[in-house]
Amino acid sequence: MIHSDQQLALVREQLGRAERALKAISDEVRPVNESRFLLMAESYVDMIEELRGEIDAYLGLQAVRQSQTELILSLEGPGIRLGDTPASLVTRVLDSLRRGLQLVVEAAESGSSTGQARGAVARTAGRRKRWIEELCDLPLVGVAPGSVQVQLGEPASLSTGLLGDEDREFYQYVISLLRDGLACATGQATAEQLPVELRQPVLHAVRKLVPTPRGALDAITISGRAIGTGKDYRVTREARGRLDQEVRRVTATAEITSEEGIIREVDLDQNTFMLRDRRGGAPELPCEYADGDEEDVKSFLDKRVIVNGTLRTSPKANRQTMDVEVIEAIGVEEGGNQPGGDEARVESADYDAN
């Protein structure tokens, strides 16, 4: 890190030497052997990028970029750097963010008096779905090193004026809920600062961003204009246990768990399905999912899956339901009737089986 103008001058000298060395290799080796040039140049390229990053940070360029970018997701882990990181890892993280935002938007609009006051005008089911998608699909504005940094802008419909001031106010409210959830994940706050009716969906939304136990991703640092100047939240694997503890604490009759079975009786209008043929002969389990998970539910119909989420038990009816967080396929597609279950069906005219 650079802490003075003298150090800045030294780093600039180092940068100049590295750039001149790279230019010499390019002039001498590249015309003869391109592969050897690329191999020799790799360490110089890494050094140049690191030195330029230090200079940008000292001059304040990083702070300016952060203030102009809605959200910055910095992905960390061994081997995670530009040129080596699989695109699938980046898209999974972005999809987790999008689905998490959708979960918060749906809950805030329908379950919170504050949310209803901030953004809700009467919408048909189709218009509501498009509105949620537009608010939660943030445009990609840049990718940078460190280790891989994904930069996102505000929703395009807000920046172009297709959505109005009420929608912007509601979006900012949703982002504030996300910030509070990230504070819970990083141990900087507890769920008490969230509205009672929104605690569970916000915690579940943030939980979608937690790195998996055995993946290449170790941590995600979230910063940007939406988070606040000079602020960031670093979410590591350890956040999963912390969030689960918060969910258990604020929902006395709920349990974070995983259930295995086959998805049946999908109702796209009610966002529900039945999980049948569960392990140990357990009875069928009604499950509720968010709009953002609809494509997964349709693709996993008739398949054996593991459903992760919050299992709720009704003390009066002695009945269990699950709020779905993540669905993972573990088997091949099942056809026809299953033991203990009716023939699979989808209760919506909107679903095209083809």
Q: Of 251, 252, 212, whose CA–CA distance to 235 is shortest?
A: 212
Whether residue 116 is found in the same domain as residue 211: yes
pLDDT band of 2, cuts 50, 70, 90: confident
Whether residue 192 is found in the same domain as residue 209: yes
Structure tokens at 299: 């693709």
Whether residue 118 is found in the same domain as residue 182: yes
Taking residues 175-184, report their average pLDDT: 94
Give pLDDT, residue 230: 77
Q: Using CB atoms within 10 Å of the CB of residue 307, give its burial: 0 to 12 exposed, 13 to 18 middle, 19+ buried.
A: buried
- pTM of the predicted model, to two decimals? 0.62
Last residue of a domain, one of 250, 277, 300: 250
Instruction: Report DSSP letters for 79-135, one per residue.
Output: T-STTTS-HHHHHHHHHHHHHHHHHHHHHHHHH-HHHHHHH-----HHHHHHHHHHH
User: Cβ–Cβ contacts within 10 Å for residue 50, how many?
Assistant: 15
Structure tokens at 81: 């750097």
Give pLDDT, residue 335: 38
pLDDT digits (tens, 9 = 90+) for 100-133: 999 899 888 875 455 544 555 545 566 888 888 8
Q: Is the pLDDT of residue 201 over 90?
A: no
Domain limits at 283? 254-333
* Residue 71: DSSP 8-state: E
CATH of the domain at 262: 2.40.50.140
Q: Of 307, 224, 234, 227, whose CA–CA distance to 266 is shortest?
A: 307
Whether residue 232 is found in the same domain as residue 292: no
What's the total number of domains in the chain?
3
Q: Is the pLDDT of residue 72 over 70?
A: yes
d(CA 112, CA 279): 36
Max mean pLDDT among 232-246, 305-319, 338-352 falls in 232-246
Whether residue 234 is found in the same domain as residue 310: no
Whether residue 73 is found in the same domain as residue 87: yes
Whether residue 87 is found in the same domain as residue 174: yes
Give pLDDT, residue 325: 80
